[in-house]
Chains A and B, each alone.
Chain A
Amino acid sequence: MQAPYYNEAVRRLFAAPAHAGDASGITADVARGGAHVVLAADLDGSRIVKMRFRVLGCPHLVAAAEAACAGLEGQPAAALREFSIGDIMGILEIPVEKTGPMLLLEDAIGALGQQIISKDSNRS
């Protein structure tokens, strides 16, 4: 039997992405190769209290963005800079040809972390 191209987790997260939308705090906007990711985070001090995403891209990218936002919410802001897409790629069984969109998401999360650093250094 042919293995499903989208595993159950991808299908579930794609069908009902609870973190799709906007937040009022910092944002990162990255586009490449026809895919587009916008991330937004609200912070309470150094903690991420709300993560939201918007995506134009494949189901794997939507599901990965949803998984990343869900995982980062409640974490310290430093988690953005330490984020690696590898775990999510494993859980969602992302095929190798989708590495490009996954790196786009990783870049967007990294850019969000960079914005927090810039904001903090401006403040100090």
Chain B
Amino acid sequence: MTDSDALYLDYAASTPPAREVAGAMAACLSGREPFANPSSTHASGRAAGNAVDEARARLGALLNASPRDLLFTSGATESDNLAIAGAARFRAHRGRHLVTMPTEHKAVVDTFRALEKQGFDVTWLRPGTDGVLDIVQLEAALRDDTQLVSVMHVNNETGIVQDIGAIGALCRDRDVLFHTDAAQSVGKLPIDLASLPVDLLSLTAHKFYGPQGIGALYVANRDGCGVEPLLHGGGQERRLRPGTLPLHQVVGLGAAAALASERQADDLRHMQVLRDQLWNGLQKLPGLHLNGAPEQQYPGILNVSADGVDGESLMLALEPLEVASGSACNSLSKEPSYVLRALGRDDALAQSAIRFSFGRPTRAADIERATDIYCAAITRLRALAPQAAG
């Protein structure tokens, strides 16, 4: 059940399935469209297989990648696990040194932590105060036994965009695999895998108006690049990710990818307008801090901290505005965001951070209302606080 008064600005957490996506999935679930096991060899199975092929082709078109290099998974978390743990094991005979950043998504951070426990040596590179990885710092961290670098494309909390072209080129030059978690960028920013030196790329459908529970991993078809499967039990997905494919979700992902191919440029312009409107509106309040530099950020995300307010109280005071807090892993955690702490924010500012994220359905009137709600909440909480804190 949702609150009819709610104003949803949490599209970086999940987007609603597009009408075209829901329609394609409903047709599958109705039994009128292909419904059979795509691995079956009878006519119904072949029809289902054709639907999977079409979805894979649509995703390939969005990324300018060969469809055969795309594996369907249950989402970005599984893709990250398969890419990182799978590639580390695939190349373990060559060396056991890996490189990543503490500002990555938990799906990446926790996978590297698990590999550390298994004897891999991980170098954690901290970003500058602008959130961006210094390529010179990365170059210095690479060793003869380095096998994998993983750096996300767009940060899920701040929207900061990393230069995956430059990072990938350096890795390619040093014969190191490069993985990027692109959960926040696929379908939103142009990604051309035919020209980008990316070996492994994770994505999930529900961040670009597809269904939840389906994602993909791109594995470049080149010498020295590969992953060891984490699951066993069938020959699906080139034996790298076995299990019967969820046809309706795969079809939904394909529909979302096709829509993104059409809408991406317009969507990006729309995000820019909304972001500028919100930031311009919020700046009438003193003591606000933008987390990240606008010229290095995806415009669909705006992350703001405020002096003199408690983050948990701010989240409650913002209702019915639905946004994400600066707490680490869930809205009720008091732990300040490790991403914002890594950017140099102190605990109080990191804890007061609010992530606004916009979507296709967001309108200028929504931003106006969100601005009013945020400003009123900050003003009220500051009035409630001891003078020294305000």
Contacts and interface: CB of A to CB of B under 8 A. Distances in A.
A56 B385 contact: yes
Nearest to B347: A34
A55 interface: yes
A58 B386 CA distance: 14
Contact of A6 (B308, B316, B348, B384): B316
Interface residues of B, number: 19
Contact of B351 (A20, A34, A59, A62): A34
B6 to A, nearest CB: 16
Interface string B311-328: 011001100000000000
A57 B332 contact: no
A5 B330 CA distance: 13
Contact of A55 (B317, B351, B385): B385
Nearest to A6: B316
A110 interface: no
A59 B309 CA distance: 11
B384 A59 contact: no
Nearest to B316: A59
Given A14-B313, A56-B310, A59-B312, A29 B386 contact: yes
A55 B384 contact: yes
B385 A54 contact: yes
Contacts of B140: none
Contacts of A59: 312-313, 316
A62 B332 CA distance: 16
Most buried by A among B308, B383, B386: B386
A41 interface: no
A54 B313 contact: no
Interface in A1-49: 5-6, 11, 14, 17, 20, 29, 34-38
Contacts of A29: 386
Most buried by A among B309, B310, B334, B385: B310
B316 A54 contact: no
Contacts of A58: 310, 312-313, 334
A107 to B, nearest CB: 15
A15 to B, nearest CB: 8
Contacts of A35: 310
Contacts of B389: 36, 56
Nearest to A100: B334
A60 B348 CA distance: 18
B348 A57 contact: no
A27 to B, nearest CB: 10
Contacts of B332: 5
Interface of B: 308-310, 312-313, 316-317, 332, 334, 347-348, 351, 383-389
5 closest A-B pairs by beta carbon, nearest first, are A56-B385, A56-B389, A58-B312, A38-B386, A54-B386
Interface of A: 5-6, 11, 14, 17, 20, 29, 34-38, 54-59, 62, 97
